[in-house]
Amino acid sequence: MDRLAGQNGVTTGRLYPDTRPFDQRMIDRGDGHQIYVEQCGNPDGCPVLVLHGGPGGGCSPFMRRFFDPAHYRVVLFDQRGCGRSRPTASVEANTTAHLIGDIEAIRQLLKINDWTLFGGSWGATLALTYAQAHPQHVTAIVLRGVFLGMQTELDWFYGGGAGRFFPDLWARFREMIPLAERDDMIAAYHRRLFDDDPAIQARFALPWLIWENALAGLHSQPSSTAPVEYARAFARLENHYFANRCFLDEGQLLRDRHRIEDIPAIIVQGRYDMVCPPRSAWRLSKGWDRCRLTIVPAAGHALSETPIAAELVRTMDELRDSNLKETASS
């Protein structure tokens, strides 16, 4: 989950100025996928990996601006099939396990021993999955808008739960599908997003995107436009992952939380997040002594909402100051 960041009018004064990458490259994974990777900030700084949402959202220059460029070495990449990675919208060899493999390949290629993970929505899912698989390479975890990849969360968003708050928008999303198929909207859209006819794919990609984007921010306004190729990649990839339950066992990230309980974690969660309601963040944090949950009032899901962005910048500055104190005392 999570469409393009930086679209909902955040107060730019709370963010760091945009910095140009000092390194940009394509990594050939040898299975038909090429992954776009960039690095910004201080080449000798504390490494932080940014994990974008979706699946299929891609990273953007806006995502560089949460980190003090004098302190952090910021690594961003476009996940398989989206953004500048190639091939666009491909679901071949595209699973959560493949993405975890890509992250490890990036870490090894860049000669990074350990790093902080920074991810929201689906990016939070991926951060937790990676950390549980490779806890020895993670120094801290910063999450926003927690999504655990569970059936209850998918039922909320695609089974009518969120539609109770947005009945008009939910009706538009459903009216694209014949009445007989509306009991499983993910499956119904899947049949059309993966039709052999590209025109049919494009026709159903936009309403899939509009439904999520309209609910992303507390003050979001529904939009009926988006670049066709972006909408197609986002909708196909997200639907592919959700149709396959994110390639995770049900409840896996809660079940395996013990693997990362020694790692400090901070969760920033909008009180009125309609895409990823606060219950998942609460369940994840409960009983995790090294995890701090901050519920932001008057905020929804979007990374670009002013209260969410401000709290994330404050969090990363707090980690920076903690790192500097540890360095000075050692």
Residue 163 to residue 155: CA distance in whole angstroms:
11
Residue 328 to residue 43: CA distance in whole angstroms:
20
Write the DSSP string, 104-155.
HHHHHHTT-S-EEEEEEEHHHHHHHHHHHH-GGGEEEEEEEEE----HHHHH
Which member of 33, 52, 190, 301 is catalytic? 301
Q: Strands of 138-146's sheet, edge to edge?
A: 23-28, 34-41, 72-77, 46-51, 115-121, 138-146, 265-270, 291-296
Residue in this structure with the two tokens 């990374």, named with its chain if needed: 303
Instruction: Give, as one character, the DSSP assignment of residue 86.
Output: B
The three-class DSSP label of residue 46 is strand
Residue 9 to residue 306: CA distance in whole angstroms:
7
Which member of 273, 280, 285, 304 is catalytic? 273
* Token reading at 272: 């009125």
CB 285 within 8 A of CB 291: yes
What are φ and ψ of residue 287, in 5° steps?
A: 85, 0
Which member of 85, 90, 121, 285 is catalytic? 121
33 is catalytic: no
Q: Where are the alpha helices (DSSP H) in the chain?
A: 96-109, 122-133, 151-158, 167-175, 185-193, 198-216, 228-243, 252-255, 279-285, 306-329
121 is catalytic: yes
As a residue count, the chain comes to: 330
Question: Which residues belong to the active site?
Answer: 121, 273, 301
